[in-house]
């Protein structure tokens, strides 16, 4: 009886050792995508009224946790029964990320009609603010879903061939890290100004100086994260294209990885953007024709 218990403890110790080693490897392999995830989600979580930043961030965090709960079992099942389908899902997700990145670049470069039209300042109602928040939260959770798929698949690939228990524990740890770690840092970033206000109220000159710097630094950090987040979308998408589409990999493999990924992501995003805009234009014309039929004989 005692020998059986000691054998079980040995097995558990060996499993935990394996888990620790594989978790380190998986963390290293997903470090890049976790950094991109941070940049993208920090940009998504910014731009809200100060009093609403934490509630909105908490809503996105809960959505991110739900994403992981959906993705984890599906990824494990697909990797076992239909591994080729994971590649298809990754490529579709990459197309969406590339499209989102290209759309942001397009909106920045191409002037829009609303920028030249003088619009009176209107204070939105509480209902309008909540509706806007819900829309941004949904968009953030959708982007998180795509990035979460990539994180989980990379983590899963790092433990390929290991016992199923090791795979489950390691991938779950990485998924948990991707949510708690990333959104914890995002929360710290968006509350920089509040910390700065607290420090400026202190009598210490050093505290006041640091507080002022934090308050002044926040808009710069947010704008920088918006830029970095856009680049991250392109790079993540391009990385998936290069690693999962073999002809593209052979075509760009001689280029530095960042150049190849940027090129692949940007071209893929532009193609997706052109197709989406073409569909919108076609269906927009059809809808206008239905709403305003020609009544002349």
For 246-269, the pLDDT digits (tens) are: 898 899 889 998 899 899 999 999
Q: Give the per-residue pLDDT at 283.
A: 81
The answer as to whether 203 is a domain residue is yes
The answer as to whether 5 is a domain residue is no
Q: What are phi and psi of 201, to 5 degrees?
A: -80, -10
- What's the total number of domains in the chain? 1
The answer as to whether 127 is a domain residue is yes
Calculate the CA dihedral of residues 44, 142, 60, 194 and round it to 10 degrees: 0
- What end-to-end distance do the CA atoms of the chain give, in Å? 96
Average the pLDDT over 67-82 and give the result.
86
Most confident of 145-149, 191-195, 204-208, 253-257: 253-257
The answer as to whether 165 is a domain residue is yes
Question: Rounded CA gap, 209 and 199, in Å?
Answer: 8
The answer to whether the predicted template modeling score (pTM) of the entire model surpasses 0.85 is: no
The answer as to whether 237 is a domain residue is yes
Q: Which domain holds residue 261?
A: 15-282
DSSP state of 50: G
% the chain with pLDDT above 90: 7
Average the pLDDT over 231-235 and give the result.
83
Q: Give the per-residue pLDDT at 266.
A: 94
Question: Rounded CA gap, 36 and 235, in Å?
Answer: 9
Residue 227 has pLDDT above 60, yes or no: yes
The answer as to whether 257 is a domain residue is yes
- All residues at 6 or more sequence positions from 185 whose CB lies less than 8 Å from its CB, including other chains: 38, 42
Tokens 């001689």 found at: 254
Residue 295 has pLDDT above 60, yes or no: no
The answer as to whether 238 is a domain residue is yes
The burial of 159, by beta-carbon neighbours within 10 Å (0-12 exposed, 13-18 middle, 19 or more buried), is given as buried
Out of 120-124, 227-231, 285-289, least confident range: 120-124
- All residues at 6 or more sequence positions from 76 whose CB lies less than 8 Å from its CB, including other chains: 156, 164, 167, 168, 171
Q: Which residues of 229-241 are buried (b: 16+ CB within 10 A; e: fewer)?
A: bbbbbbbbbbbbb
The answer as to whether 233 is a domain residue is yes
Using alpha carbons, list the distances in angstroms from residue 44 to 56, 148, 249: 10, 15, 31
């Amino acid at each position: 009886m005692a020998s059986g218990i000691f054998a079980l403890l040995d097995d558990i110790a060996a499993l935990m050792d394996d888990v620790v080693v594989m978790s380190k490897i998986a963390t290293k392999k997903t470090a890049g995508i976790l950094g991109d995830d941070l940049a993208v989600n920090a940009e998504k979580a910014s731009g809200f009224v100060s009093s609403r930043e934490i509630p909105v961030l908490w809503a996105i965090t809960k959505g991110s946790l739900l994403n992981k709960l959906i993705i984890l079992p599906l990824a494990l099942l697909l990797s076992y029964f239909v591994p080729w389908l994971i590649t298809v899902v990754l490529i579709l997700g990459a197309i969406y990320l590339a499209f989102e990145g290209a759309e942001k670049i397009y909106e920045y470069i191409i002037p829009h009609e609303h920028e030249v039209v003088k619009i009176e300042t209107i204070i939105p109602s509480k209902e309008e603010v909540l509706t806007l928040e819900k829309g941004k939260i949904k968009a953030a959770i959708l982007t998180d879903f795509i990035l979460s798929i990539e994180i989980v698949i990379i983590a899963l690939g790092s433990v390929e061939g290991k016992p199923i228990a090791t795979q489950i524990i390691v991938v779950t740890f990485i998924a948990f890290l991707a949510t708690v770690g990333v959104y914890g840092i995002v929360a710290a970033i968006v509350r920089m100004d509040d910390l700065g206000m607290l420090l400026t109220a202190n009598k210490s000159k050093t505290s006041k100086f640091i507080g002022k710097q934090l308050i002044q630094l926040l808009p710069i950090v947010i704008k920088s994260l918006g830029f970095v987040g856009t680049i991250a979308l392109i790079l993540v998408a391009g990385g998936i294209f290069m690693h999962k589409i073999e002809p593209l990999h052979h075509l760009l493999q001689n280029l530095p990885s960042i150049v190849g990924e940027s090129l692949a992501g940007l071209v893929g995003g532009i193609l997706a953007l052109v197709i989406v805009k073409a569909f919108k234009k076609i269906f927009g014309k059809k809808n206008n024709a239905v709403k305003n039929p020609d009544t002349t004989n």
